[in-house]
Amino acid sequence: MGNMYPKIRGDNKVVRIYMDHGATTRPDPEVVNAMLPFFNELFGNASSLHTFGQEAAQALICSRKTVADFLGAEPEEIIFTSGGTESDNLALKGIAYLKKNKGKHIITSVIEHPAILNTCKYLDEIGYRITYVPVDDQGLVDPADVEDAVTDNTILISIMHANNEIGTIQPIKEISAIAHEHGVLVHTDAVQSVGKMPVNMDDLGVDMLSISAHKIYGPKGVGALYVRKGTRLLGLSQGGSHEMKKRAGTENIPGIVGMAKAVELAEQRLEGDTKYLENLRDTMIRKILDSIPESYLNGHPTKRLCNNVHVRFSYVEGESLLMMLDMKGVAVSTGSACSSKSLEPSHVLAALGIIPEKIHGNLRITLGHENTMDEVDYVVENLIDIVKKLRAMSPIAPKD
């Protein structure tokens, strides 16, 4: 559909507005530049004893320290992985397998990312018991529900730091405190929150935390699992003694170096980016809700990722909205049933208790620091027209 992008404002410029930063981000040029030498002259295997290997090993050590510092952790607490999904799998299965004789009960929430939900489903199939705590209509987990679910057999609690669809930020600190009172380990999937709010291990109090590089202007295919010192878990891939023997396989040095650079930039930009994005977000939400009748914000008004705008419109369907915006050069996403391979609406929106008729017309707009207020205005203007056009076509929309 590349040839369908419109030209706007007579300046003959092709519009390409990317507002899907919850899906992935454009790698920062500094990240790409940091990676390039490790594809070229610095190609050594970090396990080799010669100079080529030691150059790679040195890069690995520095990168691990950068990521650890960013999280307020120690380097030996960082395990590099292939991304958020692998980190989540390693955390859940690594603890479940190791502690199977202590207990087989895991607590998670109904709105987790599929990397957690489907890992839990798998563990359920092989004999573990999973409790899924509910959320309220703004997507918040109640720590009291987590505490109520704890039993003598509970070995792990995994609740995401911020939701990938609606951006609701969970009370992880309180959940950690509850877990530790009961002697239970806590994991959090922080893939969406890192780089958009402070994420500090001592502050959050979690025992494990998953992050991914490509959500913070880093490369795809690399992430990390933080594992608190003293927390034992079983590695899932057997082989050499890489990554504290928790993750065998030659390290992805270009990816890891890119992730470290992305983390370094995220740290420098955190304060400025957060303020900038909150302003864009709140302006966009206000303009949409003010100018489009029967439009609603999904998620929490304030306990919300600084870049997340998640709205729904009655009488229209999300995939049609998404496609019409795409034809205007704007990239966003939707949790509508029609957009998914399963044709099921998003489990997150269903968990909020939105009635089925109203669940279909939703859009997730996730902003990034490259977006501007002009782009926000362009998207809102087009969205107003598109909703109007689709409602005129909809048999269930009230007539004007």
Partner 1 sequence: MYSGKVMDHFSNPRNVGEIEDADGVGEVGNPVCGDMMTIYIKVDNGKLTNIKFKTFDCGAAIATSSMITEMAMGMTIEQALEITRDSVADALDGLPPVKLHCSNLAADGLHAAIEDYLKKKEAGN
Nearer to partner 1, 8 or 130 (CB): 8
**Which of 23, 42, 110, 327 lies at the binding interface for partner 1 (CB under 8 A)?**
327
Buried b / exposed e across 295-313, counting CB within 10 Å, b at 16+?
A: bbbbbbeeebbbbbbbbbb
Cα–Cα distances in angstroms (integers) from residue 290 to residues 139, 359, 384, 394, in the given order: 23, 20, 10, 22
Q: Least distance (Å) from partner 1 to the CB of residue 6?
A: 11
Q: Where are the alpha helices (DSSP H) in 36-158?
A: 51-71, 84-98, 114-125, 143-149
Candidate segments 74-82, 257-265, 291-299, 336-344, binder of partner 1 by CB under 8 A: 336-344
Q: Go through the chain and tell me how many residues it has.
A: 400
345 binds partner 1 per the rule CB under 8 A: yes
315 binds partner 1 per the rule CB under 8 A: yes
**Other Cβ atoms within 10 Å of 395 Cβ, number:** 5
Q: Least distance (Å) from partner 1 to the CB of residue 295?
A: 16
84 binds partner 1 per the rule CB under 8 A: no
Candidate segments 31-39, 108-116, 165-173, 318-326, binder of partner 1 by CB under 8 A: 318-326
325 binds partner 1 per the rule CB under 8 A: no
Candidate segments 77-85, 180-188, 194-202, 321-329, binder of partner 1 by CB under 8 A: 321-329
Nearer to partner 1, 99 or 312 (CB): 312
108 binds partner 1 per the rule CB under 8 A: no
Amino acid at 192: Q
Nearer to partner 1, 190 or 359 (CB): 359
- Strand partners for 363: 311
* Alpha carbon distance 304, 302 (integer Å): 5
Nearer to partner 1, 66 or 336 (CB): 336
Candidate segments 130-138, 178-186, 197-205, 351-359, binder of partner 1 by CB under 8 A: 351-359
Nearer to partner 1, 126 or 392 (CB): 392
**Are 35 and 219 a contacting pair, CB within 8 Å?**
yes
Conformational region of residue 24, where left means phi above 0, alpha means psi within -120 to 50, and beta covers everything else: beta
Q: Least distance (Å) from partner 1 to the CB of residue 336?
A: 7
**Which of 357, 374, 377, 385 lies at the binding interface for partner 1 (CB under 8 A)?**
357
Cβ within 8 Å of residue 309, ≥6 positions away? 281, 284, 285, 288, 363, 364, 365, 366, 367
**Which of 1, 40, 101, 230 lies at the binding interface for partner 1 (CB under 8 A)?**
1
Buried b / exposed e across 134-159, counting CB within 10 Å, b at 16+?
A: ebeebbbbebebbbebbeeebbbbbb
For the record, the structure tokens of 237 come out as: 């891939």
**Are 239 and 249 a contacting pair, CB within 8 Å?**
yes
**Which of 123, 222, 359, 379 lies at the binding interface for partner 1 (CB under 8 A)?**
359
Q: DSSP for 332-380?
A: -B---GGGSTT-PPPHHHHHTT--GGGSSSEEEEE--TT--HHHHHHHH
336 binds partner 1 per the rule CB under 8 A: yes
Q: Which of 140, 173, 175 shows the shortest CA–CA distance to 298?
A: 140
Active site residue 338: yes
**Which of 2, 4, 50, 125 lies at the binding interface for partner 1 (CB under 8 A)?**
4
Q: Least distance (Å) from partner 1 to the CB of residue 7?
A: 16
Tally: H helices and E strands in the chain = 12, 14
Catalytic residue selected from 62, 120, 306, 338: 338
Backbone phi and psi for residue 366, each to the nearest 5 degrees, phi listed first: -115, 115
338 binds partner 1 per the rule CB under 8 A: yes
**Which of 105, 360, 364, 369 lies at the binding interface for partner 1 (CB under 8 A)?**
360
Nearer to partner 1, 6 or 198 (CB): 6
Contacts with partner 1, 380-399, as mask; x by CB under 8 A: ------------xxxxxx--
Question: Which residues are known to be catalytic?
Answer: 338
Residues that bind partner 1 (CB under 8 A): 1, 4, 315-317, 319-320, 323-324, 327, 336-339, 341, 343, 345, 356-357, 359-360, 392-397
